[in-house]
Chains A and B, each alone.
Chain A
Amino acid sequence: MTDGEKISAPAVSPPGDAARTDYGERFRFESLLTDLSARFINVHADQLDAVICDAQRQICEFLKVDVCSLWRAPSEKPDTLVLVQLYHPPDFLPPPLATDSSDESPWALTLMQQGRDLVVACIEDTPPEAEQDRVLWRRLGVKSLVSIPLSVGGERTLGALNLCCIRQERQWDQHLVSRLRLVGQIFANALARQDVERELKESRARLALATSAADIGLWVLDRTGTCFWVNDKISELFGIPPTDELEVARFLAFVHPEDHELVSSSIDAARQSSQLTAIEYRIVRPDGAIRWMFSRGRPIDGAQDLPRLLMGITFDVTDRKNAEERVLQLSLALEQSPASVVITDLQGTIRYVNRKFTEVSGYSREEAIGRNPRILKSGETPPETYQELWACITGGNTWRGEFHNLRKNGELFWEAASISPVVDANGRITHFVGVKEDITAQRRSEQELQQQRQELAHLSRVMTMSELSGSLAHELNQPLAIILTNAEAAQRLLAQEPPDLAEVRDTLADIVSEDQRAGNIIRRLRAMLKPGHTQLEPLSANELVEDVLRIARSDLIGRGITAQTVLDARGPRVTGDRIQLQQVILNLVLNAAEAMAAKAPTQRLLSLATEQRDGLVRISVSDTGCGLPSNVESIFEPFYTTKKEGLGLGLTICRSIVSSHHGRLWAEGSVAERSGATFYMDLPLLAEGQP
């Protein structure tokens, strides 16, 4: 800097031509101010420092001042002055860039903070409270100075503009100080503008940080409504190279055709409205991917007559949309499910029921939610079922079973249910979901089927018994004949002299026991002829075989058949309906007898056996008859018969009875072998200790 050396004019002009000089100088100063103002107004933020510096130089040169410094008093630390720009001669020792002025120049600071000018022609003439300040000035070599506090619009003091003379003292007349205030105003505006710019910059940076952290696209639609300013996130969302500007037309080209109208009308509406406008729409990215976007915008109020800016955010909601879509589909599926669905919390309180539930149970959604599923309880389902259910699902497992429940209207119905715990991400059970199917109709038809089967079985039994009627009559005749003979023998014994009373007593005892025997035969017959319901009970396989032989005995004797039994000494037991199982064995026995009719009497051998094996009981009936057709299974088909009067349902019914006992009925032996046939019936073994 060489200008400082040129300063040679006296600090104080002679009073005589002061006025003239004054006017000329004032005029030049005015033009300097105008020039500075103009430069500051048009200056770009980046060049502000350079302009300030140049202005300082011009002022120094113009006023023949050595040093011009611009200080800023930061709002967060108002006692510290920070040097903004300094214009000084080379030999000037620059002050520190930041000064704690409360320490070094408290007096000047106080004046500045009060918005008062500091005008010092000679530092030694300053008041005693400026003692600290004087030390500083002396150290810096300042002889005279002016410090103009800077503020905008009467607000807080932003800083100070200082002009110092170090070569010599000088006077600061009132006009000069006034004009310096104007200069200060220019600088103050510049500082304020710098502040605003910085704040804006920081704010933008913060916003950019926030938007990028939130993964949010940010945009501003210009006043003409033709172009968006967008941040990089928007470009990323749209799958295009980074850009600052996105024309509305280009943007709309990305929008999915079906959402096009919605989007463009929403933009127009948002610009008119003062409300927040939000829309969801699809875009088709250049790579063809369809993404769901959420945009929210709000107009920014500007000057009244101007169209407004529209500013907003956009982010990708595809995942949420997809999830919503899935939830929607799922809930639609749930609603339209042909099964009842109930969701309860851990306490069993109903949280959700679907439409089918309301149809089946008769309870509306409002009635059901908040209550316990026990509203359906009829008392028909045994308590053990519920205990088992809870143990199962609280253990994290799915329970399957059937309920006999009550509809709201008091009607009983059957439900097949599958109840599972719902587990959250941490593996904790949060809810239970029950899926239930109304199987009442199914149950009913099963019952009808069961009843039909029972009726058919009964019919078959009656037919079998009628086939056997001759031999059964004989069977019953036997005890009656014995009773008659005994009675007549007793009469004769009593007629003797002396009567053999001991023998008479014996005779009467025999009569009683034969009468009981006759009674038992009649009971068995009635049981076989009764159209009873299935009654399951533990049965001894050996007893079944023996009972049947008792019924068939006379018939077999009449046919000249010898019967033998090989019974398992362990006395295996099965669970079943006594009459039905007897019916099966009886049918097999009579079929066997039939098959042996053509054989010589000595070759008519019927064998019945029971055998316990691998968890089941096998009852077999073998004959030495004519054997079976090569297609053995055909004999189990309905209407297969070899008898003239037979219906051909015997074996079919037998098989259905055995199946309903969870057993199996099959046959072996063919005509070719001529070795007769064996029928096997396997039934599940009733294990020891079971009732």
Chain B
Amino acid sequence: MSAPGQTVYLLDDEPGMLKAITRLLKAEGLEVCAFASASDFLASYRADTPSCLVLDVAMPELNGLELQRRLTRSGVLLPIVFLTGHGDIPMSVQAIKAGAVDFLTKPARAADLIRAVRAALQRAVEQHEQVSELAALRERYATLTKRECEVMARVVAGKLNKQIADELGVGDHTIKVHRARVMQKMGVVSLADLVRAAGRLKP
């Protein structure tokens, strides 16, 4: 059973295969969105819920690896389970390197496929969570004033208050106040947490 809102996108140009996998995943209680072509899929894909993609490598027009590249380029974090007719090792290595969750050879056993899909969904949930945290962090960061941003950048760079005050041409006390406000706004309690948050904010 998948959590509500979790979707398995299925993409295969072979209608029989599409139907069979859909049937199998639905029997497992998964929500399935099946597409026979990459363009149909791209047109209806929404990134707002954790989801994964079961993708046939050999597709006319746009093959699976190509689609994977394209999604990565556009910043879509979609865990992919590849299905392939021929177990082509270089191709699978390439896919895994590019972030594929699994690479299954047809005919794939139902258990393997389901395990791979669940793993992909799990990763999707995690990714989704990470994405949500980052978004919150960005929101906090956005509340900082210009001076607070300047102070934060120097704090996480490991500078002492005195050094920062000198650089910015203000008094030590003023820096202490800014620093406390930054910690508060960013929702951290330790310098270490602030450094980690700053690291995540960096693109």
Contact residues of A with B, CB < 8 Å? 470, 473-474, 477-486, 488-489, 491-493, 496, 500, 503, 507, 510, 513-514, 517, 554, 557-558, 560, 562, 601
Contact = CB atoms under 8 A, between A and B. Distances in A.
A554 B59 CA distance: 9
Contacts of A491: 110
A479 B16 contact: yes
A478 B113 CA distance: 16
B110 A477 contact: no
Contacts of B107: 477, 480-481, 483-485
Given A481-B106, A557-B58, A492 B16 contact: no
A489 B24 contact: yes
Interface string B87-115: 00000000000000000001111100100
Given A478-B14, A507-B23, A562 B85 contact: no
Contact of B106 (A478, A492, A557, A601): A478
A488 B28 contact: no
Majority SS at the chain A contact face: helix
B76 interface: no
A549 to B, nearest CB: 11
Majority SS at the chain B contact face: loop
A626 B189 CA distance: 66
B14 to A, nearest CB: 6
B20 A510 contact: yes
B17 A481 contact: yes
B19 interface: yes
A63 B132 CA distance: 193
B27 interface: yes
Nearest to B84: A474
A562 B66 CA distance: 15
A474 B23 contact: no
Given A478-B17, A488-B24, A492-B24, A562 B61 contact: yes
B145 interface: no
B158 interface: no
Given A514-B16, A554-B58, A557-B59, A486 B23 contact: yes
A517 B110 CA distance: 22
Contacts of A601: 63, 66
Given A477-B106, A480-B107, A492-B110, A485 B61 contact: no
B17 A485 contact: yes
Contacts of A479: 16
A506 to B, nearest CB: 8
Given A479-B16, A486-B20, A510-B20, A496 B27 contact: yes
Q: Shortest 3 CB-CB distances between A and B: which pairs?
A: A481-B107, A488-B110, A474-B85
B46 interface: no
A513 B17 CA distance: 12
Given A478-B17, A479-B16, A482-B16, A488 B58 contact: no
Contact of A493 (B17, B21, B27): B27
Contacts of B58: 474, 554, 557-558
B86 interface: yes
A177 B4 CA distance: 183
